[in-house]
Structure 1
């Protein structure tokens, strides 16, 4: 299932080209020194992945708590259904749900700090921009976090989000070096494919939870999860 994180990251990067791509292209990079530019870009990506990993740790801990509470049997099915719902519900609606009360103030603070970092050209500012960007609302990141929750382990939750973040790196780096590599028409076509691919990943989680005995895809219930209270008696 960890491989699904890498796949989800790659799929998300097409979405990110429209949402986070402008941020990547506006980064205060050194345009005269190629080696320095690459280093700065990787610091930005490292900041994003650090944010994803931190949240992945929290969701992994939450998943571990659900495992210990005995909710492991149907958790993967629920996560798969939520992933599909996230695709069906428009992202603007999701942002509207998050943008209320204290959360709205928090997001406003993050955006303000993000804007200030663009005025600097230090290595620290590039990392900070990536870190703050990683905490901004994004439907695809939500899907990845549900996957981290389904891992039911803090380390696996972190690993899931690291792989997700790495999956977004290639295309987001490409738009920095070759901004016009994809035409608007091509990007629109790709955007139409993303929901279908995301639904397929959601279905994969549902199949995993059903325990149909299909190797690697839907293993039996006995092999699906590590039991919270294993019976070691003879």
Structure 2
């Protein structure tokens, strides 16, 4: 299911263009040195991937705990349902009822303090900008985090979120390289399809949890509970 993270990231980046695009367009990159500009942009993306990866470690560990509690398939179903709910919830609802608002205000203050570093075109400032950007509240990131939980493994949770971030890189880079990238009409039109993609991925997680016997998608041999005393057969030579 790791591939779903890349797909979700690639398509949700259409949503990111509207939310985080202005930050990317204001990055203090060198417009006259292509090589330096590429390094600066990648530092920004590295900061975002670091943020996503750290969140993946936390939520992947949470998923592992639920796995050890015998909730493998149930967790996949719950994560899929929550992913669908988040994807279909209007963004204005998150803006109004966001439990991470205190953190958001703190990040906003830190970003304001980075203004002087941006003017100096500091590599460190670009990395930190990406790091803070990755921690900003975002409905699609929330959806990806439910996928990280469903991985039921700390490493896979980390990998899921990093792949999600990698999927957002092409579009977010295009915003920096191409002024006026894609008209507002087409951005809005394509972004309107993003929730449906998240719903599709959520359905994949639900199908995986149901154990329908579909190879690679919904294997039937996944057990509902972790057996404390598995039956073992010892074959003597």
Q: What TM-score do the two structures reach when normalised by structure 1? A: 0.93
Contact 1:114–1:133 (CA<8 Å) still a contact in 2? no
Aligned mates of 2:213, 2:88 — CA distance in 1: 29
Q: Using the TM superposition, give the Cα deviation of residue 195 of structure 1 relative to its aligned residue in structure 2, in angstroms.
A: 1.4
Q: Using the TM superposition, give the Cα deviation of residue 158 of structure 1 relative to its aligned residue in structure 2, in angstroms.
A: 0.3
Contact 1:12–1:168 (CA<8 Å) still a contact in 2? yes
Match of 2:93 in 1: 93
Match of 2:58 in 1: 58
After the TM superposition, which residues 132-211 of structure 1 pair with which residues of structure 2 at under 5 Å, given as runs? 132-211=132-211
Aligned mates of 2:29, 2:115 — CA distance in 1: 10
Match of 2:23 in 1: 23
State which of 96, 104, 110 in structure 1 corresponds to 2:101: 104
Deviations along 1:171-207, one digit per CA (max 9) or x if unpaired, are 1001110122311111121022111111111111111
Q: Which runs of 5+ in 2 are unaligned?
A: none
Contact 2:70–2:224 (CA<8 Å) still a contact in 1? no
Q: Across the two proteins, how many residue pairs are aligned to each other?
A: 230
Contact 1:6–1:163 (CA<8 Å) still a contact in 2? yes
Q: CA RMSD in A?
A: 1.6
Structure 1 pair 72/7, CA: closer, same or farther in 2 (3 Å)? same
Larger Rg: 2
Partner SS, residue 50 of structure 2 = helix
Indicate yes or no: 2:111 matched with 1:114: yes
Partner SS, residue 119 of structure 1 = helix
